[in-house]
Structure 1
Amino acid sequence: MARPKWLQSFTQHGTKPPYLLKYRSSEAFIIATIALAIFTDMFLYALIVPVVPFAIETRSHVDSSKVQYWVSVLIAIYAAALLFFSPICGWLADRSTSRRSPLIIGLFALLGATILLDIGSSIGVMIAGRILQGTSAAVVWVVGLALLADTVPQERLAQAMGYVGAGMSIGILIGPLLGGVVFDRAGYGAVFAMAYALIGIDVILRLLLVEKKVAARWDPEADGREWNRNFKSAKEGSKEAVQDSSNDLEKELGRIPPTDPEQGTARVTERTSIEASSAPSRRRVRDRLPPLLSLLYSRRLLAALFGAIMQAGVMTAFDSVLTIHVADIFHWTSTGAALLFLPIVIPSFLGPIFGWLSDKYGGRYLATLGFLFACPPLVSLRYIDSNTINDKVLICALLFLVGLSLTMTFPPIMAEISAVVEAKEKKMIASGMPGYGPGGAYAQAYALFNMAFAAGCTLGPLLAGFLVAQQGWSTMAWILGVLSAVAAVPTFFWLGGFLFAKAPE
């Protein structure tokens, strides 16, 4: 009976493969591990939201009049740490020999943050805890998404990102709910007992994870994307691999006509040489910039980052205004207001389905429709102004439609980040340049995405709170609707490459 390939290579490498290698390095296990890592990060971030005000007042002995101020400061510190450390994590991760090691380091940072927030009895300790928490979030999001890009082929990446989006939304949803309920029933210590238990599960999965490139020591075909294998062959000096990669790219772009049967490949080589020599020097200069800067020259990437800012901004805008508005209009308690976030988050379970649609039919139109479909329900929120059954039902329906529409935008935008990196690197190699190096630039690209998403999460609540305070709920509603419609414009024209270009960017 023939042995599987990954067992056949056992004797070739002279070492025994890790136990259950096939399953620990599978796409499903890696996706599940990253989705749980994202869930853990968001769950622990949201878990302490109803607890922090109590801790500040009773444990840190801050005057009650200063509680709101310090809550805002702690939120801002988390966002600042996330923005600051994201590009650093991306740069280091792309130069690291492993994605798994930074993920484990990030998990220990999260554990340290949780311990500090648990035992902290002063504002200084809590600030240190929030900085560590923001750093851990930067590692998880940047390195985790880069690992997914390494593992899952581009044609299935949007669906994988849908699972990540679901993990994020579930963590944000149940974190504050469980935090508040457990705190009321069992106290401060029980809240953090949940956190430690979840971190323990996360530790086990991250330690079990085996990257595709590590599994390739026993199974060469397991090395993630086919493009990664071709790139490594090129870097090892295989001229044939470079030429094949270049020719495949040029054929995809429609720049090489079918080979002339009389002239053979000489015609292809001549055409490629002429185009390479006529390429603008400006493009060559910008491709030699550090990856983080080189990527920002891509209008495709800028469109995706703008979409991420708008998406995060609209989604989190309700964090600062929805609870207060329904308390004023419907006289609901904090529990009722918290449950009102359910209609926004529940559609995130459809993220994998929207990801599959994006992979099959392209993300441009799905993301554009998502931003456009979010506009009418957002504008219609301005009519929620009276304490009636109709208004209560209407706001639930409108929030559900907003959540559904924004869920449509999440997988294609996240998958577009890695698509830009792959397209740019193929172009660089096709023109005779070395590409982004052995580590690639996925982590740095997702660092930019993480910064954009964090910026949206920061600006959204601030904008909504300012508009409600200065102009009222009605004005805020239609402005959010307009912003969503504006986001659809660059998404339609640039996501996946310029709509009217003869060849993708």
Structure 2
Amino acid sequence: MGKEEEQPPMFWRFRSSNGFIVFSVSFAIFVDVLLYGCIVPVFPFTLEKRSGVPEDQVQRWLAVLLAVYGLGFSLGSPAFGWLADHYRNRYWPLMSGLILLLSGTLMLWASHAVELLLLARFIQGLATACIWSVGLALVIDTVGSSNAGESLGLLAASMSIGFVGAPSLSGFLYDRLGYDSVFLCMVVMVLIDIVLRILLIEKKDALKWVIKETDANDPRQPLLRPPTPPNEHFDLQPHAHPIIILMQSPRLVTAVWVSFVEAIIMTSYETVLPLHTKETFGYTSTLAGLCFAVVVFGDFFSTYAGRLSDRIGARPCVVAGCIAGSVAIFGCGFSDKNTAGDQALLWVMLLLVGLAHCLVFVPTYTEMSLVVEQIERERPGVFGPYGAFAQSYGLGNLAYAAGTTVGPLWSGFMKHDVGWFWLTFTLAIFSLATVIPASLFLGEPKPKPKPIAEGEESNGRV
């Protein structure tokens, strides 16, 4: 008796549709960012109560907790980026990231010792590297590079919602229902995330059922890609080294540097803003969370920043954003007294910081994909058959992860040793100094003028 034909699973068309796949990856990124930000307004209060950290050491340990997360993100990004480029099935890599995320969250919930909290944050950083690297590759697999812009915009929106929601949600839950309620909510979100991943069917897996239901004479049939051989999992062919080629581009190096600086600025605010507002204005964790939410509110305008960048190019957007950001960051340093005027000044400056970040961040990540297209035009086939979009974004993620390691350490120790004003002053200098490489290297390079032949030159003079 011959082998029975495999029956397609229920609702396979919906489960393999572009919308469901992009939504699932967006939700995974949303949950990951939500978990990252949940400790921002909570741990300044719980490190002392649960872990026995002296009050004068809370800022230092909060900085270290955030930095350890960035360290896990940094170390995991290259490994999972390589996996995303070579492993043809995304199911197990992405599921591994979600399991790591769940494990780290449960450990963070149950632990009292600072050492275990550090390990939990490191595991969450590894999970973030996996979810971002493999999730981005899955989205590109699904929609194709020509349609990736809109989908990546949705991913950015989900990240923004997570950044806005995390401090506010965790601060509210902690104030009203206590510590356990924060992590119970986080665990439920991760479990929903895992269910969505189980339901998801990748395009390459659904292709055999599409072919089966497509008539052989259908003119669309030749457009269908042949299925991947079932035993072929990795591509280990010796192609050019994309990372080396990409890093030879000053345009990409500048975009990576801008990503690093922006990560330092944003994670610095995450580290010191809750404690600064608590010490200066007497804010609760809820108000501290809402204060940080103002910073990331600007990310909701990322679509408009992307359109502006498409119209006028990344260079003027990034230059204007860095200058505006440096002014706003410097302005934050003057809100150091418990007066209504200082509080209003801080909130207005934080809003401007967020808007400036949006104007810098979106065009910068757009540049990372445009660099790949530019190099491919100049040297066709240099990256092999699979291109280098994921690895280009991987470099940006690695730089951002490095910034999330440096930012908390820099801001935490600066705030503790020299104070709020000098911390904001140094961050403003970081932002302003970025204007120089951005103005020199970002944007599509101007085509070199072709040499005029002698005959053409003489004809032009007639």
Q: TM-score range by the shorter chain?
A: 0.7 to 0.9
**Cα 1:156–1:344, aligned 2, differ >3 Å: closer, same or farther?**
farther
1:394 CA drift (Å): 2.5
Give per-residue Cα distances to partners, 1:83-109, cap 9 Å, x unaligned. Answer: 111101111221101234311211111
Superposition map of 1:199-348 within 5 A: 199-217=190-208, 290-348=241-299
Give per-residue Cα distances to partners, 1:266-306, cap 9 Å, x unaligned. Answer: xxxxxxxxxxxxxxxxxxxxx96533333222222211101
- Give 3-state SS (helix, strand or coil) of 2:270's partner: coil
1:319 CA drift (Å): 2.5
Task: Check the 8 A contact 1:159/1:356 in 2, yes or no.
Answer: no
Task: Check the 8 A contact 2:44/2:274 in 1, yes or no.
Answer: no
Task: Check the 8 A contact 1:159/1:411 in 2, yes or no.
Answer: no
Q: 2:162 aligns with which of 161, 166, 171?
A: 171
Task: Check the 8 A contact 1:161/1:355 in 2, yes or no.
Answer: no
In 2: Cα distance, 1:129 partner to 1:412 partner: 33
Aligned to 1:119: 110
In 2: Cα distance, 1:71 partner to 1:465 partner: 8
Paired residue type of 1:363 = A
- Give 3-state SS (helix, strand or coil) of 1:457's partner: helix
1:392 CA drift (Å): 2.5
In 2: Cα distance, 1:338 partner to 1:157 partner: 32
Point out where structure 2 has 5 or more consecutive residues left out of the alignment.
Answer: 212-221, 227-237, 451-462
Aligned to 2:230: none
1:348 CA drift (Å): 1.5
**Cα 1:310–1:502, aligned 2, differ >3 Å: closer, same or farther?**
farther
Give per-residue Cα distances to partners, 1:116-137, cap 9 Å, x unaligned. Answer: 2233455554444223211101
1:314 CA drift (Å): 1.8
In 1: Cα distance, 2:150 partner to 2:438 partner: 19
Q: 2:361 aligns with which of 397, 410, 419?
A: 410
1:66 CA drift (Å): 6.7
How many pairs were matched up? Answer: 426
**Cα 1:327–1:191, aligned 2, differ >3 Å: closer, same or farther?**
closer
**Cα 1:68–1:400, aligned 2, differ >3 Å: closer, same or farther?**
closer
**Cα 1:479–1:187, aligned 2, differ >3 Å: closer, same or farther?**
closer
1:43 CA drift (Å): 1.1
Aligned to 1:251: none
Task: Check the 8 A contact 2:167/2:292 in 1, yes or no.
Answer: no
In 2: Cα distance, 1:121 partner to 1:329 partner: 28
Q: 1:436 aligns with which of 375, 384, 393?
A: 384
- Give 3-state SS (helix, strand or coil) of 1:318's partner: helix
Superposition map of 1:64-79 within 5 A: 70-79=61-70
Q: 2:396 aligns with which of 425, 431, 449?
A: 449
1:153 CA drift (Å): 5.2
In 2: Cα distance, 1:120 partner to 1:328 partner: 27
In 2: Cα distance, 1:73 partner to 1:364 partner: 34
1:110 CA drift (Å): 0.9
Q: Greater CA deviation, 305-314 or 64-73?
A: 64-73
1:472 CA drift (Å): 4.6
Give per-residue Cα distances to partners, 1:463-482, cap 9 Å, x unaligned. Answer: 34454455554444344333
In 1: Cα distance, 2:45 partner to 2:351 partner: 31
In 1: Cα distance, 2:43 partner to 2:415 partner: 25
> Are 1:160 and 2:159 matched, yes or no?
no
**Cα 1:357–1:103, aligned 2, differ >3 Å: closer, same or farther?**
farther
Superposition map of 1:325-404 within 5 A: 325-359=276-310, 361-404=312-355
What TM-score results when the alignment is normalised by the length of structure 1? 0.72
In 1: Cα distance, 2:53 partner to 2:104 partner: 21
Paired residue type of 1:143 = V
Q: Greater CA deviation, 203-212 or 341-350?
A: 203-212
What TM-score results when the alignment is normalised by the length of structure 2? 0.78
Q: 1:92 aligns with which of 79, 83, 104?
A: 83
Task: Check the 8 A contact 1:103/1:144 in 2, yes or no.
Answer: yes
Q: Greater CA deviation, 485-494 or 196-205?
A: 485-494
Task: Check the 8 A contact 2:41/2:274 in 1, yes or no.
Answer: no
Aligned to 1:41: 32
- Give 3-state SS (helix, strand or coil) of 1:210's partner: coil
In 1: Cα distance, 2:195 partner to 2:448 partner: 47
**Cα 1:303–1:25, aligned 2, differ >3 Å: closer, same or farther?**
farther
Superposition map of 1:133-152 within 5 A: 133-152=124-143
In 1: Cα distance, 2:36 partner to 2:417 partner: 29
Q: 1:458 aligns with which of 405, 427, 434?
A: 405
- Give 3-state SS (helix, strand or coil) of 2:184's partner: helix
Give per-residue Cα distances to partners, 1:143-164, cap 9 Å, x unaligned. Answer: 2223334444556544433332
1:356 CA drift (Å): 3.7
1:174 CA drift (Å): 2.5
- Give 3-state SS (helix, strand or coil) of 1:45's partner: helix
**Cα 1:329–1:129, aligned 2, differ >3 Å: closer, same or farther?**
closer
**Cα 1:392–1:87, aligned 2, differ >3 Å: closer, same or farther?**
same
Point out where structure 1 has 5 or more consecutive residues left out of the alignment.
Answer: 1-13, 221-228, 234-286
Paired residue type of 1:380 = G
Superposition map of 1:479-494 within 5 A: 479-494=426-441
Task: Check the 8 A contact 1:288/1:294 in 2, yes or no.
Answer: no
1:216 CA drift (Å): 4.5
Paired residue type of 1:480 = L
In 2: Cα distance, 1:88 partner to 1:443 partner: 12
Give per-residue Cα distances to partners, 1:349-383, cap 9 Å, x unaligned. Answer: 22233234434554343333322332332233344
**Cα 1:341–1:148, aligned 2, differ >3 Å: closer, same or farther?**
same
Paired residue type of 1:81 = G
Instruction: Using the aligned pairs only, state the percent identity.
Output: 37
- Give 3-state SS (helix, strand or coil) of 1:409's partner: helix
Q: What is the CA RMSD across the aligned residues, in angstroms? A: 3.6
